[in-house]
Amino acid sequence: MADWETAESYLETASKRMKQSDEAWFFLAETYRRRNKNAEATAAYKRCLSLNSQHGGAHRGLAVLDE
C-alpha cells in the first residue's frame, strides 16, 4: 500500500533541495494528483515542464487533470 503522505513530505523536500530537477517536480506532482491536490499538482507539473518542456509524463499528468 502506498503512503502518499510520506511520499509528499519527502518529495517536497527534494524539490526544494534540487530546484532544477524535473524528475523531483514530476514525482511531487504525481503525488499531489493522487492525493487530490489538483492545484498543487498542476503547479508542480508546470514547474517540471518549465525545466523540461518535453517531459511526457508531465504532459500526461496535466491531461489527466483536465479530464
- Integer Cα distance of 67 and 64 in angstroms: 5
Task: Give the domain extent around 34.
Answer: 20-66
52-66: pLDDT as tens digits: 999 999 999 999 999
* Count of domains observed in the chain: 1
Tell whether 53 is covered by a domain.
yes
Tell whether 38 is covered by a domain.
yes
In degrees, to the nearest 5, what angle opens at C-alpha 8 toward C-alphas 11 and 25? 40
Tell whether 49 is covered by a domain.
yes
Tell whether 26 is covered by a domain.
yes
2-42: pLDDT as tens digits: 799 999 999 999 999 999 999 999 999 999 999 999 999 99
Q: pTM value?
A: 0.92
Q: Which of 34, 55, 57, 58 is nearest to 45 (CA)?
A: 58
Residue 1: the pLDDT is 58
